[in-house]
Amino acid sequence: MGPPGPATHPRKNLAAGRHRCRACRPRIRQCRLKGCDRRFHPRQARQRYCSENCRKAARKWPRWKAQQRYRDTTVGKEKRNGQSRRYRIRVKNRKPVPSIGVAASLGLVLYFIGAVVTVVRSGWYSHLRFPDTISSVGRSLIGVATGHAVSEWGSRVNTISGRVVF
């Protein structure tokens, strides 16, 4: 049984301002990009990705897959073999590194090794910003490599002859 009396009109029963016509917007969706899974409000009915970056990333996969399918064909394999052949020829015809560059890099390395040796031989570490970084073990190893080591008391010892150097 229904309510007594005449049928009610839906607009008359609604409170003022409650009845609004909703805009036709699709409901919340989940981004279709693998690994994204973000939820978003689509601006268009056919929007499938949450952002422009996801859309671009999704467009990369079909291109990659098409390239793989092409490379599986005989024409694609011939083209790839041609590329490899041309690359091997380019590598074979490369010019060697100029000797002046090798000499310059070797000179630079020797210069800095000489600077370290000079500091270790002089035993003067106060000009270094962080003297704690050069531990006694590091100093003795460098000293042994150069032929001079610093003893516990601060005097330099010639590791080759074992004599104390003043």
Distance between CA atoms of 46 and 14, rounded to whole angstroms? 34
pLDDT tens track of the chain, all 166 residues?
556 655 555 555 555 555 555 666 678 999 999 889 899 999 888 899 999 999 999 999 899 999 999 999 999 999 999 999 999 999 999 887 778 878 888 888 889 888 888 877 777 766 665 545 555 556 655 565 555 555 544 455 444 554 544 4
Contact of 117 with 110, CB cutoff 8 Å: no
Give φ, ψ of 46 to 5 degrees.
Answer: -100, 15
Where in the chain are the domains?
27-92, 106-165
In the Cβ-directed half-sphere of 149, how many Cα atoms lie within 13 Å? Answer: 15
Please tell me the predicted confidence (pLDDT) of residue 162: 47
